[in-house]
Structure 1
Amino acid sequence: MYEEQTIPWWKNAIGYQIYPKSFQDTNHDGIGDLNGIRQRLPYLKELGIDFVWLNPIYASPNVDNGYDISDYQAINPEYGTMAEMVDLIKEAHAHGIKIIMDLVINHTSDQHPWFQEALKGPDNPYHDYYIWADGTQKPNEWESIFGGSIWQEVPSLKKQYLHVFAKEQPDLNWENKQMRQDLYKMIRWWLDLGIDGFRIDAISHIKKSSWDTKPQADWAFSPFTNVAGIDVYLTELGQIFKEYDIVTVGEASGVTAEQAPEWVGENGYFNMIFEFEHISLWKREKQDTIDVIALKKALSHWQKQLDYGKGWNALYMENHDVPRSVSVFGNDQPVYRQKAATALATMYLLLQGTPFIYQGQELGMTNMTFTDLDQLDDVTAKQQIEELRKLEDSGERNLEILELMSSISRDNSRTPMQWSTEENAGFSTAEPWLVVNPNYEEINVAAQLKQPNSILSYYKQLIQLRKNRAVFVTGHYHDYLLDDPKVYVYERFLGTERMLVVVNLTKDAAEIDLPAAISGQSWTLVIDNHSVEGANSEHELQLTQHQKTMALAPYEARVYHMNQRVKETFNEKIR
């Protein structure tokens, strides 16, 4: 093991995102809770997790599943108490696991005391904590991210407030200095309580353009996404974070790879950001499979823009806002699922950056085939269903909507965690708040813990490989064959150490011509997802310096280590 203290702790860490409502229920009400997370800490430790990101657990009316906060310094009773939160932090730390929380400071709930005071009128000091337009006429036709107008009228005030998301989530006015100071006080309160950082929600939306700004032709949300002048607020916020030894991850919609060094460079606002370039590719219409070339180029673009000390990536393939990765980037058919899930894991976990695993991803959990529209809970799904029903209200139309929701709904990633074959997948003894995917009988933790070649086992081995080789943490990145429609080939290199990652991202067999820089060297296979013997058995199978081609089975992934120590470093050679 190399010296970890030479780099910030979060660069050598593996993150795990928990959606508390769906993780583990211990009080038998069908809703996950803080004690359920405590109960599963040993599982996370064994997996190799270093920090956990919790989706919102604050007091909330739950219009948007906790992203509408009514009290920043209170725990939603359905998850537990503040005392239990403190116990979770302490117990996680005892296991060597840090806790980071979701920080939602673009907006509040309309039930937050600040907004309730704001509704009393312009003379109330909290009125200016939010963004208002006078009169009953909308000042523009800006569209909310959740659909419909961004403006909501308050007839009693003859005013309208702005909401980037749901109407129950009024946006905060970052131009108000006192509002910002109140937020900073709250942030320090949580950090002083002992948490280890934040994932900062929707932070690229806190600055808005002037009301007469027209949206870009291909981007309806441009007037309130990464708007010029946002740096003033982000710099001020970043100074608070720099007072603590924490990790900060910004959700940065609209931030390009070229702009990223301003956000996550040496003097950036955050340690890393979640970008949207690669994760949005599944949304493209009329495609049965992912565009492999587009995926590779998106990932490679961010790798290159932040390499050589220019910044740091946050690596992810799933979260609570997107469908399951094996279903949209891979293949969830039983014959392919195990290989597709492990191929995707190999592809992204060994890139430069801090990897995040979303709960159940390490099992290959899949999208849900919903059988009734009432099974859907997500606010955006309900709005989409309402709009689609307006077009044609018939039983046949409902079946089409169900099929669509089974592909795109955010509820796909929010179904309960699949722990075992027990009732409700071992998540709860009560009826869960959201339907359990019926494939839990085949896909669950208990079963995969017993299988040496399971997806879970492979994730553990990949995590240890990354932690045990400095090249995967601080090494540089170089890609090959970006225009190949099936196979992703890249190197991680540090000094004279070189690691080669080769992944077939399709259900078809593939063959590639090896570039001279690869074929001219001798390589040893370190890990692969097709070996009968087990993925980390340090096979003697080698890629010889005379080999000119490589054949790969569907969704086959291989990682090689270069045998010989060359005098000239690869870093010097390619630069």
Structure 2
Amino acid sequence: MWIIRSTCLLLVGWLLVGCTADKSAGERAAEVSRQPRRIESKYGVYYQVFVRSFADSDGDGIGDINGLTSKLDYLNDGDPLTDTDLGVTGLWLMPINVSPSYHKYDVVDYYNIDPEYGTMEDFRVFLQEAEQRGIKVLLDLVINHTSSRHPWFKESARSENNPYRDYYVWAKEGQEGFNLRGRSSWGSRLWHRKGSSYYYGIFWDQMPDLNFDNVKVREEIKAIATFWLNKGVHGFRLDAVLHAYGIFEEPLGTNLREKNLQWWREFGAALEAVNPDVYLVGEVWASARVVAPFYSGLDSLFNFDLAEGIIRAVNSGSTVYANGKDFAVWLEGMYKEFAAVEPHFLDAPFLSNHDQERVMNRLRGDIDRAKLAAGIYLTMPGNPFIYYGEEIGMKGTKPDEEIREPFVWFREAKLPETSWQNIAHNKDTVPWEEQQQDRNSILHHYKRLIRLRQTNEALAKGDFVALESSNDKVIVYGRNLRSGGSARSSVIVLHNLSLEPQEIIVQGEDLSGAKIIFESTGTNKNRVNGVRISIAPLTTVVLQRSAIHAP
């Protein structure tokens, strides 16, 4: 593709703003908006898979597409009457495109499967088998940057006059307005020398950032996404959403946030034209205030604030959040902030991911607390995302390779277990095979929660109402599915954060007739007596009732 080079690039301090020669394209992008959201087809419980670590089909030690296909019956066997499968309805596959790295977040070829993982035919079969089981597939789409080995970048680096030069962002030593010594907020270098010039790359010198002010780049990205939608994927997890234009702040009069939002609206609208039910979930690793505006372009955003809030609450044993508010009240306020941008937002609650210390480590290896944390986020609104191995209590701390260790299938290593990485943290993790037979295992707990969610409309699709209680050791909220202004299905969810049994009164609620439909522990110790509820230590209880008053 031939392009016109940009006529200007402005950097104030260490923040980048690009100016394309095609100003009309930028103006058109500002006018793009997505259609009213069709969210009914997008609900589900998703499972994040690092293909390399999940299941190996050929004995080379590296997980692959065929290995994943062989384990689909564990994830969801397609039969709602069985209880041997986990029951998830969606998969997020971490990057599977051609890449020189083990993690594959530096893509060389967006249109092919990395040979370590398999072939396009393997992927076709995988999609077909997933579809038969009712499993939707999201691909990790890494488009903030490419690999430095990508043909675009190789061409871009050849000369200032190369037609691909403007696919990336370049500057010269001493060029006015550029701080080539600038660093990101986490300390990484922003500019990297190549010959007599510098290119911009926020994460690493092997990951040069694309120039989204270039309309040709934007069209390339939309073409890549369209290619995979036409192959049969249902949507994308979008990496580094915040960084398409600059980082974090707005340099003198240029609204970088708005440029980011415009791009994601443009991207979402383009993909809706291909598949009106496309599902887009973005990574904006920031506070809810920063996250909220991105709902104008994306269906879901990972809720990092909620993940941290859940872990704090479970570790502290108190519903009082850091800002002094009750946990449920704080969360209700966050949801209102999201709804102000997009009334049909789908939150993406989770506990940890491939970039973070595993939740089992955050909870000091306490299985009961891990079950409680799962009970909280798997009863929240939106689409929960489970990081592979979380459901069997896998552990892991930095460096990154050790939070991405092989899934523990058996006590003795054998296929499909992978061996690309030595086990540092999970030698004592009870393997999947043994947990399958244990009704008290954390795996069985996850299965029960997922089935409850999938069979209860209020939990799967209902709104969220913070409820007042008489006890700061118990989180209490309602989930209501409404029809014609009234609740069609309603539940009350309670989580006892303490090590002692608790008795609470839910203010303003008549619990007569309420029925316990789920209790994580303490069977026969959790009771409803009029307006009072008794709940066992570190326990989640779900009550079904006909209606809940919403303020």
Say yes or no: TM over 0.5.
Answer: yes
> For the Cα contact (< 8 Å) 2:318–2:497, is it kept in 1?
no
Summarize the Cα distance change of 1:541–1:441 in structure 2 as closer, same or farther, 3 Å threshold.
closer
> For the Cα contact (< 8 Å) 2:469–2:505, is it kept in 1?
no
- State the identity as a percent: 29
> For the Cα contact (< 8 Å) 1:136–1:159, is it kept in 2?
no
Which residue of structure 1 lines up, in the alignment, with residue 283 of structure 2?
A: 251
Cα distance in 2 for partners of 1:343, 1:283 equals 10
1:544 aligns with 2:532: no
Which residue of structure 2 lines up, in the alignment, with residue 97 of structure 1?
A: 135
Summarize the Cα distance change of 1:135–1:198 in structure 2 as closer, same or farther, 3 Å threshold.
same
The one-letter code sitting in structure 1 at the alignment partner of 2:201 is H
Cα distance in 1 for partners of 2:465, 2:507 equals 14
Q: Tell me the alpha carbon deviations over residues 509-545 of structure 1, each in whole angstroms, 9 at most, x when there is no partner.
A: 253542322465443221112146xxxxxx7964121
> For the Cα contact (< 8 Å) 1:33–1:78, is it kept in 2?
yes
Which of 32, 47, 56 pairs up with 2:86?
Answer: 47
Which of 170, 175, 193 pairs up with 1:153?
Answer: 193
The Cα shift of 1:552 comes to 3.4
The Cα shift of 1:257 comes to 4.5
The Cα shift of 1:101 comes to 0.2
The Cα shift of 1:163 comes to 0.9
Summarize the Cα distance change of 1:344–1:254 in structure 2 as closer, same or farther, 3 Å threshold.
closer
**Secondary structure of 2:321's partner?**
helix
**Secondary structure of 2:145's partner?**
coil
Cα distance in 1 for partners of 2:298, 2:99 equals 26
Cα distance in 1 for partners of 2:338, 2:471 equals 23
The Cα shift of 1:487 comes to 2.8
Cα distance in 2 for partners of 1:237, 1:358 equals 26
Which residue of structure 2 lines up, in the alignment, with residue 279 of structure 1?
A: 307
> For the Cα contact (< 8 Å) 1:131–1:173, is it kept in 2?
yes
Which residue of structure 2 lines up, in the alignment, with residue 38 of structure 1?
A: 69
Which residue of structure 1 lines up, in the alignment, with residue 508 of structure 2?
A: 517
Which residue of structure 2 lines up, in the alignment, with residue 29 of structure 1?
A: 60
Q: Name stretches of at least 5 consecutive residues in structure 1 with no aligned partner.
A: 1-5, 215-222, 368-405, 533-538
**Secondary structure of 2:544's partner?**
strand
1:237 aligns with 2:224: no
Which residue of structure 2 lines up, in the alignment, with residue 474 of structure 1?
A: 461
The Cα shift of 1:444 comes to 1.5
Which of 85, 106, 110 pairs up with 1:68?
Answer: 106
Which residue of structure 1 lines up, in the alignment, with residue 350 of structure 2?
A: 316
1:143 aligns with 2:143: no
The 5 Å alignment of 1:529-540 reads 529-531=520-522
Cα distance in 2 for partners of 1:143, 1:483 equals 49
The Cα shift of 1:50 comes to 1.2
> For the Cα contact (< 8 Å) 2:310–2:376, is it kept in 1?
no
Cα distance in 2 for partners of 1:259, 1:211 equals 14
Which of 111, 114, 120 pairs up with 2:158?
Answer: 120
The one-letter code sitting in structure 1 at the alignment partner of 2:496 is N
Summarize the Cα distance change of 1:359–1:481 in structure 2 as closer, same or farther, 3 Å threshold.
same
Q: Name stretches of at least 5 consecutive residues in structure 2 with no aligned partner.
A: 1-37, 77-84, 482-486
Q: Tell me the alpha carbon deviations over residues 72-112 of structure 1, each in whole angstroms, 9 at most, x when there is no partner.
A: 11221211122211221122112221211001111001000
The Cα shift of 1:449 comes to 0.9
Summarize the Cα distance change of 1:319–1:149 in structure 2 as closer, same or farther, 3 Å threshold.
same
Which residue of structure 2 lines up, in the alignment, with residue 16 of structure 1?
A: 47
> For the Cα contact (< 8 Å) 1:248–1:272, is it kept in 2?
yes
Cα distance in 2 for partners of 1:299, 1:197 equals 27
1:347 aligns with 2:376: yes
The Cα shift of 1:327 comes to 2.2
Cα distance in 2 for partners of 1:71, 1:153 equals 24
The Cα shift of 1:194 comes to 1.2
The Cα shift of 1:301 comes to 3.9
Summarize the Cα distance change of 1:210–1:345 in structure 2 as closer, same or farther, 3 Å threshold.
closer
Which residue of structure 2 lines up, in the alignment, with residue 493 of structure 1?
A: 480
The one-letter code sitting in structure 2 at the alignment partner of 1:318 is S
Cα distance in 1 for partners of 2:192, 2:249 equals 15
Q: Tell me the alpha carbon deviations over residues 218-276 of structure 1, each in whole angstroms, 9 at most, x when there is no partner.
A: xxxxx99962322221221111221212211011234634862x433xxx312111132
Cα distance in 2 for partners of 1:513, 1:325 equals 28
Which residue of structure 2 lines up, in the alignment, with residue 373 of structure 1?
A: none
**Secondary structure of 1:341's partner?**
helix
Which of 530, 539, 551 pairs up with 1:556?
Answer: 539
**Secondary structure of 1:517's partner?**
coil
Summarize the Cα distance change of 1:322–1:153 in structure 2 as closer, same or farther, 3 Å threshold.
same
Cα distance in 1 for partners of 2:466, 2:474 equals 11
Cα distance in 1 for partners of 2:92, 2:469 equals 33
Cα distance in 1 for partners of 2:361, 2:130 equals 31
> For the Cα contact (< 8 Å) 1:58–1:66, is it kept in 2?
yes
The one-letter code sitting in structure 2 at the alignment partner of 1:144 is S
Which residue of structure 1 lines up, in the alignment, with residue 408 of structure 2?
A: 418
Cα distance in 2 for partners of 1:212, 1:88 equals 43
Which residue of structure 2 lines up, in the alignment, with residue 182 of structure 1?
A: 220
> For the Cα contact (< 8 Å) 1:523–1:542, is it kept in 2?
no
Which residue of structure 1 lines up, in the alignment, with residue 359 of structure 2?
A: 325
The one-letter code sitting in structure 2 at the alignment partner of 1:147 is G
Cα distance in 2 for partners of 1:62, 1:179 equals 23
The Cα shift of 1:117 comes to 0.3
Q: Tell me the alpha carbon deviations over residues 2-59 of structure 1, each in whole angstroms, 9 at most, x when there is no partner.
A: xxxx952222x11111011110112222211111101100101121121111000111
The one-letter code sitting in structure 1 at the alignment partner of 2:352 is E
